[in-house]
């Protein structure tokens, strides 16, 4: 039998299926391109083409089944078996002709998008497009092998798809410590997945050859045995698989509290809402009051004296007592450090005075320990004010608008100004642009010589990219083994920027890695621009609303997701990393049940930090 | 006689229930155990795949099987009304799809109880996807009840998916909210306003589509 004749016959046999598949795969890209053209956004179709390519394994399987069924259904099978045909040659040719045909079909939207992006000079596909094409090859092979044995198009297609899905999930069930699809599979162990896909494809092809040669035909008796065998394998896998990426909850406790929950550090201990110490014993959360009177505690230290103590003025307080406090312990005495900025009630938003005050925890009704007037920072008298502060050992760096004040707080009873840098953060760009990822960019280095260079770099980056954030208790900068990196979160991804060098005035940074959020993570509310982000001990914590995500940032070129914690309808309010690495989390739950009926509950969670 | 037809269809399509049920249970158990993504995302993923796959499995040979096996001649010679033949197929499919989604939803709730999602959220989400799948199957009946091969049925089903996909994108991009109410995919939005109205409207539309489908099925003999 001539090879060219077989090829011709196979192509003729498949032509209608190929045309149908081509129509199905191209309809969405063309539709999107037309919509974009009508909307005046050029002739673009990358999103729908990506979607079509995602579904290409289904079509590849369909082509495989049509290909096999063309010659292996009852009547045709008798016909060609009666010819002097080489079964192996025929099946090999069928396999590769169908494979090439399905790859050509899948290539059509790819070529369409590439051409569109060249002509209109726009963004093409992302780098993950090859994966569905590889999966399509596997799906084709599996469906081909199944149809050789089952010989019913629909059932073979379904069984092939089922085996394909199972193979894709299998690596996560085996003890390979895979946790993150984006990093583990797409970046770190793509070779493993590629091997699995190619080995399964090759095995399916060889199986198909052997089955066709020996005329294997799965009829009835063997089917029950296969069901039982598959069930047993599944149960075994379920027994040996374990939880992968969810963060384990060690303890959950409902607490009585009003307002927003906040956790603050006081030395080694964590304080909840400035009122209670949070202690952990055998993975149990226990609360003990800071003060004999549970209604006071440290919370009013954070508030200090009444914010509205000055008649005719409105005060802004930093740290916002609803979100935390800046505490310092000297001997047995506990102090809080608070910054007050006063603006006139008459000219709203025009700030006139700024004070740094320290308060001592005592039963004294007027516990103010010391006060420092830092109003010199108010240079421009603009209609808003930015305040930030960070305590580094006994040095408190206070930043107001574009100026910084360095204060010695070794003795909080006597605050002493050491240095003053006016307008050092003027004309700074306060956010990262996507374009920054393609070039080295510079960040101003805060000229404070009273702290070491690493802390200066950390402070500078935090001030610029988290000025409104709680930089007094956390940082987005990771310093490890002499390497300095910082992180940002957006709706699309979390990104890592390395500090490459610095001089007396500037820090030079360069983008090094990003970990995109998947569609599935987005469904549960991935932390976006409004999410809070911080780094501690080479782990990046991102949280917003209902979801916390923890990433491993110890590798230079990748950000690997370690785990997630989700609680629907709960709002994550604050998080603290304990000394032993465990996580303490505050959440609130609220429900409106009619006019004037508003139920609210608050919870504390102790979580295992994922490794 | 109608009960006998139902019994025939039930026996013929039982493998689909077993297959889809077993696959759904297996993948739900697997994904909810290994938890690569949050439970809510797992639920959406499984429900989405089910919404497309389960109607496809049922549509493959529910009508075309009779044609390809030539049993339709025998079926039409039985002294029963044609609506009985058509609706026995449709009812068995509806029961099958609902059973699969109910089982999966209950399993999701059971495995994820007290974990991440609020009580019954996963069940409701999965069930709404099931209703959307049912609506898609109903639309398939109108287009694919005369198909003579499994490939033809598959083509008709894919056309329904893609056609409504295009309608859905047009409705959302152009903000034609009233049009979105008629798109089966809109049923999957659990938090959408007026979900009850949407279900009611789609039920009405489904009844009309079924009438058309039955008319087309009843006129099959001309083409045989």
Q: What is the pLDDT of residues A35-75, one digit of tens each?
A: 777 776 666 677 778 888 888 888 888 888 888 877 766 66
DSSP, res A20: H
B196 at interface of A, judged by CB pairs closer than 8 A? no
Residue A20 has pLDDT above 80, yes or no: yes
- What is the average per-residue pLDDT within A287-298? 65
Residue A146 has pLDDT above 70, yes or no: yes
Q: Locate A567 and state its tokens.
A: 């609680």
A176-187 confidence digits (pLDDT tens): 777 777 777 666
The CA-atom distances, in angstroms, between A234 and each of A238, A370, B21, B26, B105 are 6, 69, 15, 8, 20
Given this model, what pLDDT does residue A307 score?
Answer: 46
Q: Locate B79 and state its tokens.
A: 């002294």
What is d(CA A459, CA A472) in angstroms, rounded to the nearest whole number?
Answer: 10
Given this model, what pLDDT does residue B92 score?
Answer: 94
Highest averaged pLDDT of the listed ranges A179-193, A208-222, B16-30: B16-30
B65-106 confidence digits (pLDDT tens): 888 778 888 888 888 888 888 899 999 999 999 999 999 999
What is d(CA A592, CA A549) in angstroms, rounded to the nearest whole number?
Answer: 28
* B36·A234 Cβ contact <8 A: no
Strand order through the sheet with A269-272: A263-266, A269-272, A276-281, A284-289
Query: Do the beta carbons of residue A335 and residue A412 sit within 8 Å?
Result: yes
The CA-atom distances, in angstroms, between B82 and each of A236, B68, B89, B220 are 48, 19, 11, 10
Q: Which residues have C-beta within 8 Å of that of residue A599, sequence separation ≥ 6?
A: A590, A591, A592, A593
Q: Which of residues 65-104 of A touch B (CB under 8 A)?
A: 66
A189 at interface of B, judged by CB pairs closer than 8 A? no
* B41·A173 Cβ contact <8 A: no
Given this model, what pLDDT does residue A503 score?
Answer: 86
Q: What average pLDDT does the structure give for chain A?
A: 79
Comparing alpha-carbon positions, the chain A residue that sits nearest to B30 is A238
Nearest by CB to B151, from A153, A246, A566: name it.
Answer: A153
Given this model, what pLDDT does residue A291 score?
Answer: 66
* B151·A179 Cβ contact <8 A: no
Given this model, what pLDDT does residue A219 score?
Answer: 63
Given this model, what pLDDT does residue A143 score?
Answer: 92
Residue A293 has pLDDT above 70, yes or no: no
Handedness of CA B183, B184, B186, B187 (dihedral sign): positive
* A165·B27 Cβ contact <8 A: yes
* B60·A154 Cβ contact <8 A: yes
Number of CB pairs, chain A paired with chain B, less than 8 A apart:
105
- What is the average per-residue pLDDT within A506-524? 82
Nearest by CB to B34, from A172, A180, A547: name it.
Answer: A172
Q: Distance of alpha carbon B159 from its chain centroid, rounded?
A: 14
* B162·A564 Cβ contact <8 A: no
Residue B126 has pLDDT above 90, yes or no: yes
How far away is chain A from the Cα of B134, in angstroms, using its nearest Cα? 19
- What is the average per-residue pLDDT within A386-392? 85
How far away is chain A from the Cα of B50, in angstroms, using its nearest Cα? 12
Residue A222 has pLDDT above 60, yes or no: no
Residue A308 has pLDDT above 50, yes or no: no
How far away is chain B from the Cα of A567, in angstroms, using its nearest Cα? 5
A28 at interface of B, judged by CB pairs closer than 8 A? yes
Strand order through the sheet with A532-536: A532-536, A539-544, A547-552, A560-566
Q: Which residues in chain A have their CB less than 8 angstroms from residue B53's CB?
A: 161
Q: Which residues in chain A have their CB less than 8 angstroms from residue B170's CB?
A: 35
A529-583 confidence digits (pLDDT tens): 667 888 888 888 988 878 888 888 888 778 888 888 888 878 888 888 888 888 8
Q: Which of residues 231-290 of A touch B (CB under 8 A)?
A: 234, 237-238, 241-246
Q: Which residues in chain A have their CB less than 8 angstroms from residue B151's CB?
A: 17, 20, 62, 66, 153
Higher pLDDT, A448 or A257: A448
Given this model, what pLDDT does residue A524 score?
Answer: 66
Residue A596 has pLDDT above 60, yes or no: no
How far away is chain B from the Cα of A61, in angstroms, using its nearest Cα? 12
Residue A199 has pLDDT above 50, yes or no: yes
Of A166, A520, A526, A549, which to mutate for an interface test with B (greatest number of B Cβ within 10 Å)? Answer: A520
């Amino acid at each position: 039998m001539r090879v060219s004749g077989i090829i011709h016959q196979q192509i003729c046999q498949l032509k209608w299926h190929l045309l149908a598949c081509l129509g199905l795969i191209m309809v969405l890209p063309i539709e999107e391109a037309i919509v974009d053209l009508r909307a005046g956004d050029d002739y673009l179709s990358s999103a729908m083409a990506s979607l079509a390519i995602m579904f290409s394994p289904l079509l590849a399987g369909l082509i495989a089944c049509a290909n096999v069924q063309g010659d292996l259904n009852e009547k045709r099978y008798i016909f060609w078996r009666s010819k002097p045909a080489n079964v192996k040659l025929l099946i090999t040719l069928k396999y590769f002709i169908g494979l090439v045909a399905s790859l050509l079909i899948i290539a059509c939207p790819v070529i369409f998008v590439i051409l569109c992006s060249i002509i209109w000079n726009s963004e093409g596909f992302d780098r993950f497009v090859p994966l569905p094409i590889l999966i399509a090859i596997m799906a084709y092979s599996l469906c081909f092998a199944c149809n050789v044995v089952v010989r019913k198009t629909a059932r073979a297609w379904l069984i092939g798809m089922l085996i394909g899905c199972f193979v894709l999930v299998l690596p996560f069930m085996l003890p390979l410590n895979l946790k993150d699809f984006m990093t583990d599979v797409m970046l770190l162990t793509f070779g493993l997945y590629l091997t699995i896909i190619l080995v399964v494809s090759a095995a399916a092809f060889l199986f198909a050859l052997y089955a066709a040669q020996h005329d294997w035909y799965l009829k009835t008796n063997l089917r029950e045995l296969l069901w039982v065998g598959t069930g047993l394998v599944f149960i075994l896998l379920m027994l040996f698989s374990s939880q992968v990426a969810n963060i384990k909850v060690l303890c959950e406790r409902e607490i009585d509290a009003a307002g927003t929950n906040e956790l603050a550090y006081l030395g080694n201990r964590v304080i909840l809402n400035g009122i209670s110490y949070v202690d952990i014993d055998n993975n149990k959360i226990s609360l003990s009051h800071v003060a004999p009177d549970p209604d006071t505690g440290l919370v009013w230290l954070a508030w200090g004296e009444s914010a509205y103590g000055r008649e005719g003025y409105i005060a802004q307080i930093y740290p916002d007592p609803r979100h935390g406090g800046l505490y310092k312990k000297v001997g047995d005495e506990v102090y809080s450090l608070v910054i007050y900025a006063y603006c006139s009630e008459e000219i709203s938003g025009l700030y006139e005075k700024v004070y740094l005050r320290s308060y001592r925890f005592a039963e004294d009704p007027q516990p103010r320990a010391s006060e420092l007037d830092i109003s010199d920072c108010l240079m421009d008298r603009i209609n808003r004010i930015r305040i930030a502060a960070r305590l580094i050992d006994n040095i408190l760096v206070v930043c107001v608008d574009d100026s910084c004040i360095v204060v010695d707080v070794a003795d909080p009873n006597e605050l002493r100004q050491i240095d003053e840098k006016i307008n050092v953060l003027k004309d700074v760009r306060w956010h990262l642009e996507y374009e920054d990822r393609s070039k080295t960019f510079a960040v101003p280095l805060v000229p404070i010589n009273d702290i070491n260079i690493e802390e200066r770099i950390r402070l500078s980056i935090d001030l610029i990219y988290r000025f409104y954030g709680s930089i007094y208790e956390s940082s987005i900068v990771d310093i490890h083994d002499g390497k300095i990196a910082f992180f940002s979160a957006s709706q699309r991804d979390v990104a890592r920027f390395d500090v490459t060098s610095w001089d007396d005035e500037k820090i030079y940074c360069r983008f090094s890695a990003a970990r995109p959020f998947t569609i599935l993570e987005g469904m549960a509310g991935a932390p976006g621009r409004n999410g809070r982000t911080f780094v501690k001990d080479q782990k990046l914590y991102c949280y917003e609303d209902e979801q916390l995500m923890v990433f491993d940032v110890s590798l230079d070129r990748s950000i690997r997701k370690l785990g997630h914690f989700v609680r629907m309808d709960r709002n994550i309010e604050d998080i603290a990393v304990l000394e032993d690495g465990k996580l303490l989390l505050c959440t609130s739950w609220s429900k409106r049940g009619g006019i004037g009926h508003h139920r609210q509950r608050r919870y504390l969670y102790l979580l295992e930090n994922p490794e | 006689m109608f009960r006998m037809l139902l019994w025939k269809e039930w026996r013929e399509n039982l493998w689909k229930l077993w297959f889809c049920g077993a696959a759904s249970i297996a993948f739900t158990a697997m994904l909810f155990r290994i938890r690569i993504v949050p439970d809510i995302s797992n639920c959406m993923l499984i429900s989405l795949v089910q919404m497309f796959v389960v109607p496809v499995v049922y549509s493959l040979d529910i009508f075309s099987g009779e044609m390809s096996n030539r049993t339709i001649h025998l079926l039409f010679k039985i002294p029963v009304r044609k609506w009985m033949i058509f609706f026995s197929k449709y009812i068995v499919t509806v029961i099958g799809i609902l059973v699969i989604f109910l089982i999966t939803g209950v399993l999701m709730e059971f495995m994820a109880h007290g974990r991440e999602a609020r009580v019954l959220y996963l069940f409701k989400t999965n069930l709404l996807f099931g209703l959307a799948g049912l609506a898609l199957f109903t639309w398939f009946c109108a287009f694919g009840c005369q198909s003579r091969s499994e490939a033809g049925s598959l083509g008709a089903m894919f056309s329904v998916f893609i056609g409504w996909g295009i309608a859905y994108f047009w409705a959302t991009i152009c903000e034609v909210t009233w049009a979105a109410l008629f798109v089966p995919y809109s049923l999957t939005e659990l938090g959408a306003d007026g979900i009850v109205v949407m279900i009611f409207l789609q039920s009405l539309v489904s009844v009309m589509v079924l009438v058309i489908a039955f008319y087309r099925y009843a006129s099959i003999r001309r083409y045989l």
